[in-house]
Amino acid sequence: MSSVSTAWCQALLPLPLDIFTLRLHVCVVIGSIRHKALRDYWTNGRTRGLNPEWTDKLRRILSALDSAEHPEAMRYPGSYFHPMKGDLAGRYAVRLTANYRVTFGWNDDVAVDVDIEDYH
């Protein structure tokens, strides 16, 4: 997956609504996903390898992450967003379940290395 420059996307703002709608789907993207099953779910809708109880929440988390313009945009009610510390400094996490988190880094206006982790 490749990232798209937000400067290029901002140039689309004066164009008609149909192209503006395209901007929302093309310009702000998840740059990369580490977890193979999560990547397959996001790109193809396949749930194999994921806990079926997680899929609805994962869809909401990934959709929010896909439209986020900065990491702190993931600080919405119930997300338990937090920057990680120690060896994982520079990464961020939101709660998936009591034990599991969706973690990600941030690079050039996109989320990168999105993963599902039990780091406790």
* Among 60, 57, 67, CA closest to 21: 67
Give domain status of residue 13, yes or no. Answer: no
Q: Taking the alpha carbons of 14, 18, 24, 30 in that order, is the dihedral positive or negative?
A: negative
CATH of the domain at 59: 3.30.2310.20
Which residues, at least 6 apart from 25, have a Cβ–Cβ distance to it below 8 Å?
none
Let me know if residue 35 belongs to a domain.
yes
* Alpha helices, DSSP H, located in the chain: 6-10, 17-26, 36-44, 55-67
Question: What is the enclosing helix (H) or strand (E) of 83?
Answer: strand 82-83
- Looking at residues 84-111, what average pLDDT do you find? 95
Give the tens place of pLDDT for each residue, 12-64.
Answer: 445 454 444 444 444 557 999 999 999 999 999 999 999 999 999 999 999 99
Asked whether the beta carbons of 111 and 98 are under 8 A apart, the reply is no
What pLDDT is stored for residue 109 in this prediction? 86
Q: Is residue 17 part of a domain?
A: no
Domain ranges, residue 71: 30-117
Is residue 85 assigned to a domain? yes
78 belongs to a structural domain = yes
Give how many domains the chain has, as a whole number: 1
Inside any domain, residue 4 = no
pLDDT value of residue 5:
41
For residue 75, being part of any structural domain is answered with yes
> In this structure, is residue 5 part of a structural domain?
no
Per the listing, tokens 């809708």 go with: 45
pLDDT digits (tens, 9 = 90+) for 95-104: 999 999 999 9
